[in-house]
Structure 1
């Protein structure tokens, strides 16, 4: 084999390897990595759990969610669905997968609908945030944005301090959004029910550029709230560009005044001693 031919073969091999590496990197690039973190603690009764799951299923079946996904520069997102409760329970119901079309969104909805739910004790938002950190770091995707969406019906009452866990995640560039499920008159009041849970999420849970929360003031509005939240997160709609849309979504900016929620409320309800610092 002539030296010129050998050089040509080597250069061709290098080019093909480069193309393969670029293709692999492109396949791993998404507009958004989204963790849907869903409360399944025992304060979530059977009715709430059913409506919560149905809300997410309906949202991913909605064409508007797929349109939001395809509106990004890459036209694709990576999403995972996790159910959580106490400090030792964060169950990945659906692992990371890429969605870039309405067909894939429908498949995600179908798979989610077929999964069972297991309720367990306590509410550890902080443990879920720590779990999210590990999940983002090991996802294998290269995302322009990373968002965790936390839905729940009570304050942190187990595990590390929620503010500390939140701040650690924010330092990694993750945006935390919230879906506080407010007490419903149709339900019996619970021991950990918090009248101002929306303010608790505002001051103790959410954070990061463009972060927001949407209070669910009645379970009949749950599906609508989830759909709106997903569209806002996926399309990265933030004020002031979409003020009217956010107003309809009950958008409330993070607190800037002195009237803050007590972030230890839930943990003191469980035990009178000072919670451990992680």
Structure 2
């Protein structure tokens, strides 16, 4: 089952700040591989952070996004969630994406097992210059992400791709095919749709981007969406999402289960807008 939650409506960061990570819903059991023949060192989760840097994101948003991930990784809520895990360890890689052929790894696989390693990863994220690029290919990001798990020097009990973006897929293969291939490999996809601006024709934004992410992008046991509709809550949303992912939990309050039905927003809406505008 998939879940969605708006950061504007669900403000449980205060509970987490007090260390009450257990107040979030019970852990999901996705890919709980307690026995494995894999010889790599074990971590509780292999987490890929796939971050949109398309031109529809303004420079301020890109900077806040970078800072949000860096601050989330060193936050007491994140480190508290880490302590609750059986191994107390996660492996993380961070890449930026735009068009189907444009992905750039910012942070190769890194182990986070406490404050010192968290600080090192956060510093790496902040040292790389912010960039922007053309087009939006969520499918390209998913296809790029999948083989990265094979390159991880650590073996996780769960594998998660965390995708943030402010628009629908408009380049490369359809997003649903990429999503379904990832799910067939036991990978969970979570989403962070960024909706802090009014939809604009010039940037190919759409109404209800959260619905699009819920119905067309995310999937896998315990998958969920945390939507950002308030610029002031940008960093809080990123922190909330990472804490939930690391803890292996889904949001508890005011959560709406997403039914398995026809998408409320066409999963090809981005491609259609591009075709209508540019004829290709």
Aligned to 2:270: 266
Kept in 1: contact 2:95–2:104 (CA 8 A):
yes
Structure 1 unaligned regions, length at least 5: 1-23
Show the 5 A alignment for 1:13-24: none
* Displacement of 1:189: 6.4
Q: Greater Rg, structure 1 or structure 2? A: 1
Q: Going by fraction, where is strand more abundant, 1 or 2? A: 2
Aligned to 2:220: 208
2: CA distance, partners of 1:84 / 1:258: 28
Question: Number of residues paired by the alignment?
Answer: 243
- Say if 2:105 is the partner of 1:96: no
- Say if 2:96 is the partner of 1:83: yes
Query: Residue deviations 1:180-234, cap 9 Å, x none?
Result: 001425x976431111100000000000000000110012111100111011000
Aligned to 2:65: 52
* Displacement of 1:70: 2.1
Aligned to 2:234: 222
2: CA distance, partners of 1:266 / 1:85: 14
Aligned to 1:158: 171
If the length of structure 1 is used for normalisation, what is the TM-score?
A: 0.82
Deviates more, 1:205-214 or 1:103-112: 103-112
- Of the three residues 115, 121, 124, the one matched with 1:111 is 124
Structure 2 unaligned regions, length at least 5: 1-37
Other structure's SS at 1:208 match:
coil
> Relative to 1, partners in 2 of residues 1:219 and 1:189: Cα closer, same or farther, differing over 3 Å?
farther
Q: Going by fraction, where is helix more abundant, 1 or 2? A: 1
Query: Residue deviations 1:119-156, cap 9 Å, x none?
Result: 11000000110011110122232110000000000000
Query: Residue deviations 1:230-261, cap 9 Å, x none?
Result: 110000113xxx623xx4xxx44333344621
Other structure's SS at 2:44 match:
strand
1: CA distance, partners of 2:145 / 2:249: 22
- Say if 2:155 is the partner of 1:142: yes
If the length of structure 2 is used for normalisation, what is the TM-score?
A: 0.81
Aligned to 1:255: 259
Q: RMSD in angstroms over aligned alpha carbons?
A: 2.3
1: CA distance, partners of 2:268 / 2:197: 23
Kept in 2: contact 1:56–1:226 (CA 8 A):
yes
Kept in 2: contact 1:202–1:253 (CA 8 A):
no
Q: Which has the higher contact order (CA 8 A, sep 6+)?
A: 2
Other structure's SS at 1:229 match:
helix
Kept in 2: contact 1:58–1:109 (CA 8 A):
yes
Aligned to 2:197: 184
1: CA distance, partners of 2:121 / 2:107: 8
